[in-house]
Each structure stands twice: as C-alpha cells, then as structure tokens.
C-alpha cells in the first residue's frame, strides 16, 4: 500500500515550524505549491528506488484520531520534522482503519471531512482517495452539480489533490481508480489537470494490462461519464473484461459491468455472447445484491432488451419481494417498469406492494403511484388495497400529479373496471381539475382519460361537446395526415355511449368521417379477441345443442361496431332461425365466449372494455348470454357441455325455444 506524504506537498521544510495545519499553504498560491512540490519531489524520487507514498499534514497534535487509539499526545507547541521517518512509520502502524472509515463516513459535509483530515498527520494513499471520494459524495448529496468554490480553495483539499495530480504513477490501482471515480461524481470538467492526469495514468495501466477487474469497471464507468459511451477506450476495457473469469467478479463489479454495457446499448448485439455469460452467472449472485443493485440490473436488462434472460428476471423478482420496503421511490419505479417490460408478475410481489402502498399511502411519490397503478393495469391485477390507496392519495394530493400521471391512474380504473369507495370524491376532484386546467392536458391524454371514465359508467358528459368539436379534433390530429385508429375508436365508442347511456346529452355529435366501423382491430383494439381453443370447444357443443351449424353465426360484426362471438336469431315466438334468415327476426342472442384474457388476472371480474361491450349490447336490444371460461373448465365431457349450453340458452328466462 502506497503512502502519500502530503506534508511535502504543502510547503518548504522551514514552513513546517509554523503552528496550525497548512498555514504555509494558505500564504502561497496553488501554482507556487505545485512548483515547490516538483522541485522537492523530483530529485528525491529520481535518486533512489520508489518508496511508499504517503499523505502528511502538519499540525501540533493528532488530537481526535490518536486519542481514540489511546496514544500519548505531544506537547502543543512541539514541532514534528519530516526526516523523523521512524515516527511516521509508528504513526501508520497505530492507525486504526476502522476508526478512520467510521469517522469519515459519519462526516456530513465537505468541510467536516476536510476538518477531520486536517487532524491527521499521515495518510496512506487508499485513505486519501477515500477522503477525496467522501468530499465529493457529500457535496453531491447536498444537490451540488460541482464542488463548491470554498472546497476547491480549501488548503487541505488542495494538498490532498497534489499527489494525485503530480505523482499518479506512485499510487496503487485502488487509490487511482477511487480518486477518478470520486471526481466523476461531480462536474469538475474533463479538462481539469487533476482529472486529465488520473485518466492518463489509468489508460497507461490499461494498455499495459495492469488493471484488475474492479479497476477496469471503475475506469469504464468514469470514461462513460466524462467522454460518453462513444469513447474508443471503452471497447478495450470491455475486451479485457471478457477475458476475465466471471467467477472472480464480486457482485458490485457484475452490476458495474451491466451499467457499462447498458451505456453501449447500441452495440448489444456485438456483446450478446458476453451478455449471455453474465446473465447466466448473475443467477448465482442475486441473493447478494442490494436493493439498489437489483434495480440497476433490471434497468440494464430492459435497456439491453435481454428478453431471453427471463430466468434471471424471475429470480430477481423473488428477491424484489423481500426488498420492497427498502427501495427508494426511483428504484421501485425502475423495478416495476422492468416487470412491465418483461411481462413478469408474482402474487407475492402483489402482496408486498399492497402492504407497502397501504403503509405509505399519502407519502408516496406521484411517479411511484402512477407506476404501481400502471403495473396493476398492464398485468390486469385487480388489487383493491392498491387501487383504494391510489384513489385516496389522488384525492388528497391531486395538485402534485401531472396530466399524464392523472391519465394513467384513471386509465387503470377504467381498464380494471373498478370504482374505489371514494369514487364520488375522486371524480368530483377530477372534474374540477379538468375545468380549471383542461388546456394543460395533451389531446390524446385527455381523450384516453375521458374514454376510461366512460368504461366505468362515469360518463364525461360535460366534456363530450369539447371532444367532438372540430377544434379539438384538429388539435388531436396535430401534424399527422390522419388520426390514429385507437383515437378514432375511442371517439366512436364515446359517441355510442352518449347515445345509449346519456340520452339527455344534446350537444354536437362526432362527424361520420371520424367514426370507425369496427372496434376489433389487430392492434389497439377496444375488444378482446375470442380465445380460439375455448371458441372451438363451445362451437362443437352448440352444433350438438342446436342440431346444425346453420342455426348460429360466429364472429358477427354488428352495425354498432362490436363483434359478437356467436349470434343466434329468434322469431317472435322465440324459435331459433337459421343465421342466413334476415326476415322475421324478432330477437338476437349474443353469446360472449369470455376467455381468461377478458377478465382481471385470476378473477371473475370483467375488464372495463368487455363490461361496456356487454352493457351496450343489452341497450341495443341483444339478449346477452355470457359463457365464461371458469364455468366451461368445470365440464368434464361433451355431454356435460351440451347440457350446460341448453341450460344457458333454453332456460325459462332465456326466451329461446327449440
């Protein structure tokens, strides 16, 4: 371990007789200090083999540090001379590193760190680098973008930096990369002499193959921060890391490796073989990762599009459950975004989220609230504890939510077909916000929000005239040549809602040119396609029940944009007619063959878009007969299926005869 004698970096030997730390340095400009250092250090190191490097401060007594170790303190005015090397070595031997790092990490400000360092006589270079890192860390925590001028001009800080700038070749690898990592935490400028010196020395050792795994990872991340992911040296770093045995990597370096590759996401294909090895090895270290590291790995997997790494995602998910209370808001948001991306869900994760959200109901960050809600919405998770807590937070802290976050919350309620207990207060608050700030909502965001309200029968009657106005439609169009299919479908369904469920609405209607013919489209559909296997099974039972295929039609597009899974036509007396007959049709039966995807996850609760479809079909005069998957799954034979369909179709209340 190298030792840096900072005492030599401060001033001429005669100046050390001045009582008080760094008094001589305060009287000289930094350039003068550098000149003296060069003159004093040059001959000393050129005439003999390199010796251990040390940081040395001059002060009357090492009061705080040595008193903790029980050392006797010298008289206050007794000078200490640089040639007393035996004394220096004794000081180093008596240093307790645990006490040093504990005191260093407890320092809450840069000034406190420097004040503590000023009480020490000598410092090994690793400790000096750690002190430099702590100075930068606490400045960053205070929200600083760069080191304050008071710190940069502090004599102790200047003295601490001198050996790192002028003699980086004397530093150990650990001290070198720690100092570099520290200075990249804050904006000190890539042209800084100190930074330039550290980077040059790191690159020199890199080309010699002298950096170990941790040094390579720190250098890679530092260069990304300073020069961007296009840095040419980065390829060499990744190449050298590929040649290392992953089993020798500590968990923190595996996480750093993910961050480096994430920064070079455009080259992910080139590194896919290496990524596969990392993904496989990472399975063995998941249990050792901190919440922050888990969040960073998941984020990297998303950016690098590692969809083939699902075993790793699933294992990370198991440990996420344990760490839910310990994630920061930002980390939790990244974790949930990754699970949304990979399509991962877990009932234990849902339970943990319910407990976490409920316990922090009114203190959660709006971004986290909207992400948790989006996660439930995307995965069709009807979690009443989460949705109720979200609704309560929304009512109490509405002013903190942005238009997009408000839309995401309401979309979740609409998609999951759920009204919270405080629904009246929630929609009253929402309406007030829209009346006062409606122009702050982007057109598509506003349309999605109001359409979601209609799914759960909270019809936006007061805003329909605005939605159907030419001005809004022009804003919705923007710079595009035509409106997207989803927006047109939402507008059309809102028009149908105004006619069927809000007959008292007398405002403008949507022009025919903006209306779609079908809500069922390959993408962005307002209907869920029928489950094919379930459909085939029910079809076979219908043929046996009705006697022939001609007595029912399948996948029928109605004049009202909805597609019916199976339609049966009845005459005035309730007898079944062939589907080709269009005369004497008195009643139409719509069979909704509802597979699992039409319900909330693991529940019998219809999604909002399926609920509004069945509601509208009834208002249009159809007799809606629901055939849910969970009833079909209980049937064990074809005979049971036929009997089940006959009960559904020919019950006393069905009005169907055969």
> For position 209, what pLDDT does the model report?
87
Q: Taking residues 74-92, report their average pLDDT.
A: 42
pLDDT of residue 132: 85
Q: Report the mean per-residue pLDDT for the chain.
A: 83
Asked if 302 contacts 344 with a C-beta cutoff of 8 angstroms, the reply is: no
For residue 43, the surrounding DSSP H or E stretch is helix 30-46
Are 412 and 374 a contacting pair, CB within 8 Å? yes
pLDDT of residue 14: 29
Query: What pLDDT does 157 receive?
Result: 85
pLDDT confidence of residue 75? 40
Structure tokens at 311: 């075993």
26 three-state secondary structure: helix
pLDDT exceeds 90 at position 38: no
Q: Where are the beta strands (DSSP E) in 382-440?
A: none
Average pLDDT over residues 237-243: 91
Residue 601: what pLDDT? 93
CA distances from 394 to 257, 343, 367, 384 (A): 39, 26, 12, 15
Residues 423-433 pLDDT 10s: 999 999 999 99
Residue percentage of the chain with pLDDT more than 90: 56
pLDDT above 60 for 107: yes
- Give me the percent of the chain exceeding a pLDDT of 70: 83
Beta carbons within 8 Å of 356's beta carbon, 6+ residues apart: 324, 325
What integer pLDDT is reported at residue 187 of this predicted model?
64
Query: What ranges make up the beta strands (E) of 558-641?
Result: 563-570, 576-577, 587-594, 623-628
- Alpha carbons 532 and 595: distance in angstroms, whole number: 9
Confidence category of residue 45, pLDDT binned at 50, 70, 90: very low
Give the residue from 250, 237, 55 showing the smallest Cα distance to 158. Answer: 55
- pLDDT at 375 (0 to 100): 95
Burial class (CB in 10 A: 0-12, 13-18, 19+), 482: exposed
Residue of higher predicted confidence among 90 and 188: 188
Question: Given the DSSP bridges, would you call strands 576-577 and 563-570 parallel, antiparallel or unpaired?
Answer: antiparallel
The full length of the chain comes to 658
List the Cα angle 589/606/552 in 5-degree steps. Answer: 20
pLDDT-derived band at 35, boundaries 50, 70, 90: very low
Find, among 459, 406, 454, 456, the residue nearest to 430 by Cα: 406
Distance CA 553, CA 549 (A): 8
CA 433 to chain centre: 28
Q: How is the beta sheet containing 122-124 ordered, strand by strand?
A: 3-4, 122-124, 54-56
Map out the domains of the chain with their CATH numbers.
1-171 (no CATH), 245-333 (no CATH), 368-514 (no CATH), 532-650 (3.40.960)
Ranges 139-153, 365-379, 518-532, 571-585, most confident: 365-379
Task: Count Cβ atoms within 10 A of the Cβ of residue 580 and give its class: 0-12 exposed, 13-18 middle, 19 or more buried.
Answer: exposed
Question: Residue 321 — pLDDT band, cuts 50, 70, 90?
Answer: very high
For 426-461, b/e burial (b = at least 16 CB within 10 A) is bbebbeebbeeeeeebebbbbbbbbbbbbbbebbbb
- Asked whether the predicted pLDDT for residue 619 surpasses 90, the reply is yes
Return the higher-pLDDT residue of 155 and 316.
316
d(CA 372, CA 131) in angstroms, rounded, equals 39
Q: How far is CA 476 from the centre of its chain?
A: 29
At 351, is the secondary structure helix, strand, or coil?
helix
Tokens of 374: 């989006």
Residue 67: strand, helix, or coil: helix
Q: Give strand ranges (E) for 144-194.
A: none
pLDDT digits (tens, 9 = 90+) for 113-155: 888 888 877 788 888 888 888 888 887 776 666 777 888 888 8
569 has which bridge partners? 577, 588
Here the tokens at position 179 are 């100092």
C-alpha count within 13 angstroms, C-beta hemisphere, residue 13: 8
CA separation for the pair 457, 334 (Å, rounded): 33
Q: Stretch 365-385: mean pLDDT, rounded?
A: 94
Of the candidates 615, 612, 614, the one whose C-alpha atom is nearest the C-alpha of residue 564 is: 614
Please compute the mean of the pLDDT values over residues 561-586 and round it to a whole number. 91
Residue 269 buriedness (CB in 10 A; 0-12 / 13-18 / 19+): exposed
300 backbone dihedrals φ, ψ, rounded to 5°: -65, -40
Choose among 209, 159, 161, 216: nearest CA to 183: 161
Average pLDDT over residues 274-282: 95
The answer on pLDDT for 60 being more than 80 is: no
Let me know: does 430 contact 391? Beta carbons within 8 Å: no
Residue with tokens 């930002």: 330
3 state SS of 599: strand
Could you tell me whether strands 553-557 and 122-124 are parallel, antiparallel, or unpaired per DSSP bridges?
unpaired
Per-residue confidence band for 13, with pLDDT thresholds at 50, 70 and 90: very low
pLDDT number for residue 522: 78
Q: How many CB atoms lie within 10 A of CB 529?
A: 16
Element spanning 122, H or E: strand 122-124
CA separation, residue 586 to residues 219, 317, 567, 626, 655 (Å): 79, 55, 13, 20, 11
Q: By the 8 A CB rule, do 381 and 375 touch?
A: yes
Residue scoring higher pLDDT (427 or 656): 427
Copy the structure tokens of residue 226.
Answer: 């300073």
Comparing C-alpha atoms, which of 647, 652, 644, 423 is closest to residue 538?
644
512 CB neighbour count, 10 Å cutoff: 6
User: Would you state the structure tokens that stand for residue 138, as one six-digit string?
Assistant: 């606490």
Give the residue carrying structure tokens 């606490």: 138
Q: How far apart are CA 299 and CA 315, in angstroms?
A: 15
Structure tokens belonging to residue 404: 């997009």
| Tokens matching residue 612 | 């509004």
What is the CB neighbour count within 10 angstroms for residue 29?
9
- Name the pLDDT band for 58 (thresholds 50, 70, 90): very low
Calpha distance 589→577 (Å, rounded): 11
Question: How much is the pLDDT for 62?
Answer: 36
């Amino acid at each position: 371990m190298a030792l840096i004698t900072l005492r030599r970096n401060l001033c001429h030997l005669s100046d050390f007789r001045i009582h008080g730390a760094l008094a001589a340095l305060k009287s000289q400009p930094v350039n003068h200090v550098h000149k003296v250092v060069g003159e004093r250090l040059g001959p000393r190191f050129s005439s003999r083999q390199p010796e251990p490097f040390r940081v040395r401060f001059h002060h009357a007594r090492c009061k705080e540090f040595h008193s903790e170790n029980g050392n006797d303190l010298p008289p206050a005015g007794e000078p200490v001379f640089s040639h007393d090397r035996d004394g220096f070595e004794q000081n180093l031997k008596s240093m307790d590193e645990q006490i040093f790092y504990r005191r260093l990490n407890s320092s809450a400000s840069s000034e406190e760190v420097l004040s503590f360092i000023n009480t020490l006589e000598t410092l090994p270079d690793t400790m000096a680098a750690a002190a430099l890192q702590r100075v930068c860390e606490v400045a960053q925590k205070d929200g600083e973008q760069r080191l304050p001028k008071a710190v940069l001009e502090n004599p102790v800080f200047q003295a601490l930096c001198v050996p790192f700038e002028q003699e980086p070749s004397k530093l150990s690898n650990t001290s070198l990369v720690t100092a570099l990592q520290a200075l990249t935490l804050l904006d000190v400028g890539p042209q800084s002499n100190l930074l330039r010196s550290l980077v040059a020395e790191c690159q020199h050792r890199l080309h010699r193959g002298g950096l170990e795994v941790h040094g390579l990872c720190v250098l890679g991340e530092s260069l990304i921060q300073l020069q961007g992911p296009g840095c040419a040296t980065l390829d060499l770093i990744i190449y050298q890391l590929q040649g290392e045995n992953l089993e020798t990597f500590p968990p923190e370096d595996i996480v750093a490796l993910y961050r480096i590759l994430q920064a070079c996401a455009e080259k992910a294909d080139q590194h896919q073989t290496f990524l596969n090895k990392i993904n496989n090895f990472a399975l063995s270290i998941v249990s050792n990762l901190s919440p922050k590291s888990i969040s960073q790995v998941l984020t990297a997997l998303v950016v690098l599009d590692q969809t083939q790494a699902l075993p790793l995602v699933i294992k990370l998910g198991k440990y996420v459950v344990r760490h839910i209370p310990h994630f920061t808001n930002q980390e939790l948001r990244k974790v949930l975004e990754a699970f949304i991306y990979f399509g991962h869900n877990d009932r234990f994760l849902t339970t943990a989220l319910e407990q976490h959200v409920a316990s922090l109901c009114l203190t959660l960050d709006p971004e986290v609230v909207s992400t948790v809600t989006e996660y439930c919405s995307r995965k069709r998770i009807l979690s009443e504890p989460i949705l109720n807590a979200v609704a309560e937070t929304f009512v109490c802290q509405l002013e903190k939510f942005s238009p997009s976050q408000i839309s995401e919350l309401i979309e979740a309620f609409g998609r999951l077909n759920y009204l919270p207990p405080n629904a009246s207060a929630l929609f009253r608050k929402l309406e007030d916000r829209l009346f006062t700030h409606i122009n702050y909502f982007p057109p598509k965001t506003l349309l999605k929000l109001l359409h979601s309200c209609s799914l759960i029968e909270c019809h936006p009657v007061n805003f329909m005239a605005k939605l159907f106005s030419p001005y809004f439609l022009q804003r919705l169009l923007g710079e595009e040549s035509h409106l997207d299919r989803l927006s047109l479908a939402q507008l059309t369904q809102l028009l149908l809602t105004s006619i069927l469920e809000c007959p008292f609405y007398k405002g403008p209607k949507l022009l025919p040119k903006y209306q779609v013919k079908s809500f069922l489209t390959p993408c962005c559909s307002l209907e869920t396609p029928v489950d094919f296997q379930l459909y085939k099974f029910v079809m076979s039972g219908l043929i046996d029940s009705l006697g022939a295929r001609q007595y029912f039609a399948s996948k029928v597009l109605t004049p009202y944009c909805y597609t019916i899974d199976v339609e049966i036509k009845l005459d005035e007396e309730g007898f079944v007619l062939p589907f080709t007959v269009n005369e004497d049709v008195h009643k139409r039966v719509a069979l909704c063959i509802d597979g699992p995807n039409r319900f909330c996850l693991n529940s019998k609760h219809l999604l909002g878009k399926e609920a509004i479809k069945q509601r509208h079909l009834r208002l249009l005069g159809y007799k809606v007969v629901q055939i849910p998957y969970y009833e079909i799954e209980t049937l064990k034979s074809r005979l049971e299926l036929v009997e089940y369909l006959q009960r559904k179709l020919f019950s006393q209340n069905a009005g169907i005869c055969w």
